[in-house]
Amino acid sequence: MQTIAEIEDQIAEEFSLFDDWMDKYEYIIELGKNLPLIDEKYKTDEYKVKGCQSQVWLNAEMKEGKLIYKADSDAIITKGLIALLIRVLSNQKPEDIANAKLEFINKIGMKEHLSPNRSNGLMSMINYMKNYALTYSGENVR
């Protein structure tokens, strides 16, 4: 099983293959299209990520000491962003998720290429994922 840092490095390497941001956006959209569908029962306000301009639903379940995330969005770029976060954080220990720095976001230049609203939404998704991790681990983020 890969560590969060190893997956982040892999993503940074994949994004370095693209010359411009239009290609990177297309890749993000493609990741979103491949995101496994979340069960319809989680598409309620209870699972909705607040702070996102588009609708994002997120759920997490603990399996064998690892947190498994499922999500969906009604916006294609946002769906790709949550797919990236799930790739990095899903199937990891809650403590590791809670303490993840997620430096790949800056490494691939995503922050400066997102609109302020999308950037805020990205931070909201990260916070929700880390809060799930904290709930399951009981550990404080360092």
Domain extents for the chain?
4-134
pLDDT of residue 118: 86
Return the structure tokens found at 98: 């809670």
What's the whole-number mean pLDDT along residues 81-93?
A: 97
Confidence of residue 142 (pLDDT cuts 50, 70, 90): very low
The one catalytic residue among 38, 52, 100, 108: 52
Burial 32-54 (b: 16+ CB within 10 A, else e): beebeebeeeebeeebebeebeb
Mean pLDDT of 81-99: 97
The dihedrals phi and psi of 13, each to the nearest 5 degrees, come to -65, -45
Does residue 104 carry a catalytic annotation?
no
Look at residue 141 in the predicted model and tell me its pLDDT: 44
User: What CATH number has the domain spanning 4-134?
Assistant: 3.90.1010.10
103 contact partners, CB below 8 Å, separation of at least 6: 8
